[in-house]
Amino acid sequence: GQNIDQPTEMTATEGAIVQINCTYQTSGFNGLFWYQQHAGEAPTFLSYNVLDGLEEKGRFSSFLSRSKGYSYLLLKELQMKDSASYLCAVSHAGAGSYQLTFGKGTKLSVIP
Amino acid sequence: EAQVTQNPRYLITVTGKKLTVTCSQNMNHEYMSWYRQDPGLGLRQIYYSMNVEVTDKGDVPEGYKVSRKEKRNFPLILESPSPNQTSLYFCASSFWGQRGGTDTQYFGPGTRLTVL
């Protein structure tokens, strides 16, 4: 089966940098996604890594190491509106199946 | 506007009364999927479809049915709902990714279902 782990909760200060880690064990790995989800709303796409290395997009960066089964999402210059849950998701395929499995999410609280 | 729509947004029903939650996308996506989200369990995939007339089970398919007769629509059917199906449901769609897996998923607004 697929297993994705990420911390349940984190707290960080406005203006600071925070790193949210995600580890996974999966077969048929096709890529790793990060989504942001505000309470009561739908998830929205943040980043996608399919090869090892760092992908940067404005204040958000995501890193992937396929050999270690590890990814992180880096949020810089934190703003109050960044308070949300951050979901790590792995795309995987095998025996004709093509699925997306999510971690349980990390609830980030940004404090003044 | 490119979007995924779901209806209804909120539904309260009783055990055993068949219901359908509709999902429609206007982005010509091949891949569509249903998820349920429960506190402490995260998003779990119920069923997915890789194209018209092609559907497959996700991680928690028991008690649900789906169909994909048209590319844009992917309804979720609960033939005999039970209280343990009370949850927040999301429909999502995407193109195929470059490596054959799913590409970026676009989510509908969610349907909050309560089964009494």
B51 contacts on A by Cβ (under 8 Å):
none
Task: Give B34-54 pLDDT, tens digit per residue.
Answer: 999 999 899 999 999 999 999
Is the pLDDT at B59 greater than 80? The verdict is yes
The amino acid present at A71, given as its one-letter code, is S
- B24/B30 Cα distance (integer angstroms): 12
Q: Check residues B113 and A27 and name the one with the higher pLDDT.
A: B113
- For residue B101, what pLDDT is reported? 66
- For residue A1, what pLDDT is reported? 67
- Residue A27 in contact with partner chain B when CB distance is under 8 A: no
* pLDDT interval class at B98 (50, 70, 90): low
B83-100 mean pLDDT: 87
- For residue B12, what pLDDT is reported? 97
- B34/A6 Cα distance (integer angstroms): 22
In angstroms, the Cα distances linking B48 to B38, B51, B72 are 19, 9, 13
- Residue A106 in contact with partner chain B when CB distance is under 8 A: no
Give percent of chain B with pLDDT exceeding 90. 85
Inter-chain residue contact B48 with A99, CB threshold 8 Å: yes
Beta strand spans in chain A (E): 3-5, 9-13, 18-25, 29-37, 44-49, 53-57, 60-65, 70-75, 84-94, 97-102, 106-111
**8 A C-beta contact, residue A91 and residue B45:** no
- A5/A64 Cα distance (integer angstroms): 14
A40-52 mean pLDDT: 93
Round the CA-based radius of gyration of chain B to a whole number and report it.
Answer: 13
- In angstroms, what separates the C-alpha of A43 from chain B's closest C-alpha? 7
- For residue A47, what pLDDT is reported? 94
- A48/A70 Cα distance (integer angstroms): 13
Give percent of chain A with pLDDT exceeding 90. 81
- Residue B110 in contact with partner chain A when CB distance is under 8 A: yes
B43 contacts on A by Cβ (under 8 Å):
43, 87, 89, 102, 105
In angstroms, the Cα distances linking B67 to A34, B29, B34 are 28, 15, 11
B44 contacts on A by Cβ (under 8 Å):
102
Inter-chain residue contact B90 with A42, CB threshold 8 Å: yes
